[in-house]
C-alpha cells in the first residue's frame, strides 16, 4: 500500500479561499457577453438561471405559456429566429418574443390604404431584423400600385418607416410565407386573373422586391403552402383537390432549383393506405409547413370540443403518424389556431 506523500512546509502555507459568488461574477461580466452566454442555453434552463441571484432574475424576465395580445382577427407573421410580428387588438404592429414576453410596438404607419400585410424578415449578414409592410385598398383596381414600407428593428435612435418603390403593382394573397436565407417569400397577384399568381420575394438586406413566376401549368390553391425544403424554396399542395381530407390520394412538391432561370422540379408522393384509417370523415386539414426531418405537418383548421390531432407525413419514408395535442380539445365554439413549424426558442432581447 502506497504511503501518502507528506506535505512540505511550502504546501502547508497554502490557503483556500471561497469561489466568487454568481452575483459578484455577474457584475464583472459585460452585459452583452452575459446575454450572449445565456442565449446559448436551452430555453428550459433559463428559469433555473433566474434563481441564482436577484441580478440574474432582473436580467431574465422569462415566462413560459405567455399571453400575446391577439384575437381571432389578429394577423401573425411566421416566426423568425424566435421573434414574431403580429397585429394586435389596436391594429398596431408588435414584435414579440413569446419566451421572454418582451414586446416592442412599432410606430404607427400613416396611410390611406385600408388593407395591409406585414412580415418579419432577418438579414443574416448584417444581423438585422426588418418588418416589410404592404398597404393596398380593395376599392382600387389591380393595376393600381399599393404602398410598400420597411422598418429596421434595434438600429439605434428612432425607428422610422421608409417608403420603397416597386416595379409592378401587386396584392398579397393567402396567408403564410416563409423566410429563407435572408429573403421572405409569399404569394401575390398581379391582376384579377385567378391564374396570374406570382411569388413575391423581399430581399431583407438590400430592401428590394422581385417576383418569381410559379411553375408553368400549376394552379396555386388557397391550401398551397410555401415551405423550406432543405434550404430551397418549395411549394407543397394536394394533387387532386384543394381540400385535404381522408379521400386525398397524393401530394405534389415543387422545388425552385434555379432562381435566375425560374427552374422548378416536381415530385409527386402517393399517400400510404394507412392515411384513410387515420383521418376521420369530417376532418379537413391544412398544410402547416415542413419541419427539419422532411415531415409535412398538417392540422385541422381550428380548435373545437373534439380531441386535437396533428398529422406528420414523412416524404422520405412515405409514412404518416398522428399525434394528439393535450389540452386543446375543450373549446365550445370553433377557435382559430396559429401554428408554425419553424419556431426556435431564443432568449434574445429585442
What pTM does this model have? Answer: 0.76
Listed as ranges, residues in the chain with pLDDT below 70 are 1-32, 35, 39, 42-44, 46-47, 50-51, 53-60, 62-73, 142-144, 155-157, 175, 192-195, 329-330, 332-334, 347-350
Contact yes or no for 174/198 (Cβ under 8 A): no
3-state secondary structure of 137: coil
Q: Which residue stretches of the chain are H helix?
A: 9-12, 22-27, 31-38, 46-50, 54-59, 274-278
Break the chain into its structural domains and give their ranges: 67-213, 229-342
pLDDT tens for 12-50 read 444 434 444 455 555 566 666 776 777 677 666 766 776
Instruction: Report which of 231, 280, 278 is spatially closest to residue 256, judged by C-alpha positions.
Output: 231
pLDDT of residue 68: 62
Position 28 scores a pLDDT of 65
CB 182 within 8 A of CB 203: yes
How far is residue 253's CA from residue 236's CA, in Å, rounded to a whole number? Answer: 5
Q: Identify the CA nearest to 190 among candidates 258, 130, 136.
A: 136
Q: What is the DSSP string of 233-287?
A: EEEEEESS-SSB-TT--EEEEEEEEETTTTEEEEEEEEPPTHHHHHS-TT--EEE
Spatial distance between the Cα atoms of 286 and 303, rounded to a whole number of angstroms: 13
For residue 234, the model assigns a pLDDT of 94
Q: What distance lies between CA 252 and its chain's CA centroid?
A: 23
Amino acid at each position: 500500500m502506497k504511503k501518502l506523500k507528506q506535505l512540505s512546509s511550502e504546501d502547508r502555507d497554502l490557503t483556500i479561499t471561497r469561489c466568487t459568488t454568481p452575483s459578484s461574477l455577474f457584475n464583472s461580466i459585460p452585459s452583452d457577453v452575459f446575454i450572449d452566454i445565456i442565449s446559448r442555453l436551452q430555453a428550459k434552463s433559463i428559469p433555473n438561471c433566474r434563481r441564482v441571484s436577484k441580478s440574474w432574475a432582473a436580467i431574465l424576465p422569462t415566462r413560459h405559456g405567455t399571453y400575446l395580445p391577439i384575437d381571432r382577427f389578429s394577423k401573425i407573421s411566421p416566426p423568425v429566429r424566435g421573434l414574431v410580428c403580429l397585429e394586435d387588438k389596436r391594429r398596431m404592429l408588435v414584435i414579440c418574443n413569446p419566451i421572454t414576453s418582451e414586446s416592442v410596438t412599432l410606430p404607427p404607419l400613416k396611410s390611406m390604404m385600408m388593407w395591409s400585410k406585414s412580415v418579419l424578415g432577418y438579414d443574416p449578414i448584417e444581423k438585422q431584423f426588418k418588418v416589410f409592410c404592404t398597404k393596398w385598398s380593395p376599392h382600387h383596381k389591380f393595376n393600381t400600385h399599393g404602398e410598400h414600407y420597411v422598418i429596421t428593428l434595434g438600429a439605434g435612435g428612432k425607428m422610422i418607416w421608409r417608403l420603397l418603390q416597386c416595379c409592378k403593382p401587386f396584392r398579397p394573397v393567402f396567408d403564410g410565407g416563409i423566410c429563407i436565407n435572408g429573403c421572405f417569400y409569399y404569394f401575390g397577384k398581379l391582376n384579377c386573373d385567378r391564374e396570374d399568381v406570382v411569388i413575391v420575394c423581399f430581399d431583407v438586406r438590400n430592401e428590394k422586391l422581385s417576383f418569381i413566376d410559379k411553375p408553368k401549368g400549376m394552379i396555386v390553391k388557397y391550401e398551397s403552402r410555401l415551405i423550406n425544403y432543405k434550404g430551397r424554396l418549395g411549394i407543397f399542395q394536394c394533387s387532386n383537390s384543394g381540400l385535404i381530407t381522408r379521400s386525398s390520394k397524393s401530394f405534389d412538391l415543387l422545388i425552385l432549383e434555379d432562381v435566375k432561370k425560374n427552374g422548378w422540379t416536381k415530385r409527386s408522393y402517393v399517400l400510404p393506405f394507412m392515411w384513410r384509417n387515420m383521418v376521420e370523415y369530417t376532418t379537413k386539414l391544412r398544410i402547416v409547413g415542413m419541419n427539419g426531418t422532411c415531415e409535412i405537418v398538417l392540422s385541422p383548421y381550428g380548435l373545437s370540443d373534439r380531441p386535437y390531432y396533428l398529422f406528420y407525413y414523412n416524404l422520405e419514408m412515405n409514412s404518416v403518424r398522428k399525434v394528439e395535442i393535450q389540452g386543446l380539445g375543450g373549446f365550445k365554439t370553433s377557435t382559430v389556431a396559429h401554428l408554425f413549424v419553424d419556431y426556435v426558442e431564443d432568449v434574445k432581447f429585442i
